[in-house]
A and B are shown apart, each in its own frame.
Chain A
């Protein structure tokens, strides 16, 4: 769409330049610099007006789009960005709710792991104690029942150790809350930024006269690119972010190449 707009502006500019060219050539050939400058200024004015109209049109379109989003904001220019209440605020609070709920769920899971783990540990320890005693008994007697109990004891011990391992895996899996929470926080910030920008734009729309003058600054701000090494958040599958390591092995490789 930006490309079409650009071409459109460009063609109008070219058209007005073409229309003025015989006159411009005449002035230049007659060495009438004041006349030539006046013609060029006129051509530029046409271009500015086109730009101005397009900004106005886009802003109105934006405002209509915002109204469709049920953004209840006034157009009288007295709007306060911070007091803005919108669907977006609601979206943010819903996302915050997801973070809270997953945190609560992760904590409940970990509470249960914390409760189960020492019990399993006690089971292993007690079982080992009984095993030692039983081994002596078995040496004295050596019947079938004694060896069946022996097998049971060693099974309890090894199975319990497996359970401990599973409990640790359950604990580690709760890291999802941190990783998903980081992604959600980013989305919350994005929604907030977009929301604030839109509100600012709508304020501008109410002062269309000034829009053309402010526009270039706004664009520069948007185009400013961060060059520092900053936080990126967790790697999201399917979202390409360039030079990202895929696992711990690659981290180790990279660090060892740096002399670590």
Chain B
């Protein structure tokens, strides 16, 4: 596993705080449950769920969340709108966001990157891909 090169000891375990509060945003309860279970297998048990951006925003504003995993295509407020709303919010703007979505067009991935997404996983995905992206996001944040 790659570690921050400026540090002699691998800080990954310390960086990946297993108690961090994670919000899972997806309109399909099946997918929320899958992600929740995968996170639990990875040791993250402090999770909450929202079914679209509209219900996610007040939760993020009121709760101390450390990480957001969101779908793109949702009724009401979509994932890309949620991403933009978070980046435009002074208190939330630095919140790490991983997009887990079936949207696979290059234009969409570029749009998400430009809107400030921290990672992008296309559905269907593997447990290893999810783990790797989460680790990478926090590795990068720690290196900054």
Same complex origin of A and B:
yes
Taking CB atoms, residues of chain A closer than 8 Å to B107 are 229, 243
Taking CB atoms, residues of chain B closer than 8 Å to A242 are 105
Given the contacts A174-B34, A175-B34, A251-B122, A260 and B113 also touching, CB distance less than 8 Å: yes
Determine if B123 and A244 form an interchain contact, defined as CB atoms under 8 angstroms apart: no
Taking CB atoms, residues of chain A closer than 8 Å to B108 are 229, 232
> A40 within 8 Å of B by Cβ?
no
Q: In whole Å, how far is B129's beta carbon from the nearest beta carbon of chain A?
A: 5
Determine if A182 and B102 form an interchain contact, defined as CB atoms under 8 angstroms apart: yes
Mark each residue of chain A from 218 to 260: 1 if its CB lies under 8 Å from any CB of chain B, else 0. 0000000000010111110000011111111001001100101
Q: In whole Å, how far is A189's beta carbon from the nearest beta carbon of chain B?
A: 10
Taking CB atoms, residues of chain B closer than 8 Å to A110 are 30, 33-34, 37
Given the contacts A107-B33, A174-B34, A245 and B106 also touching, CB distance less than 8 Å: yes
Total B residues in contact with A, Cβ cutoff 8 Å:
34
Taking CB atoms, residues of chain A closer than 8 Å to B111 are 229
Taking CB atoms, residues of chain A closer than 8 Å to B109 are 245, 251, 254-255
Q: Which residue of B lies closest to A168 (CB)?
A: B127
Determine if B30 and A248 form an interchain contact, defined as CB atoms under 8 angstroms apart: no
Q: In whole Å, how far is A120's beta carbon from the nearest beta carbon of chain B?
A: 12
Determine if A248 and B106 form an interchain contact, defined as CB atoms under 8 angstroms apart: no
Q: Which residue of B lies closest to A103 (CB)?
A: B30
Determine if B125 and A171 form an interchain contact, defined as CB atoms under 8 angstroms apart: no
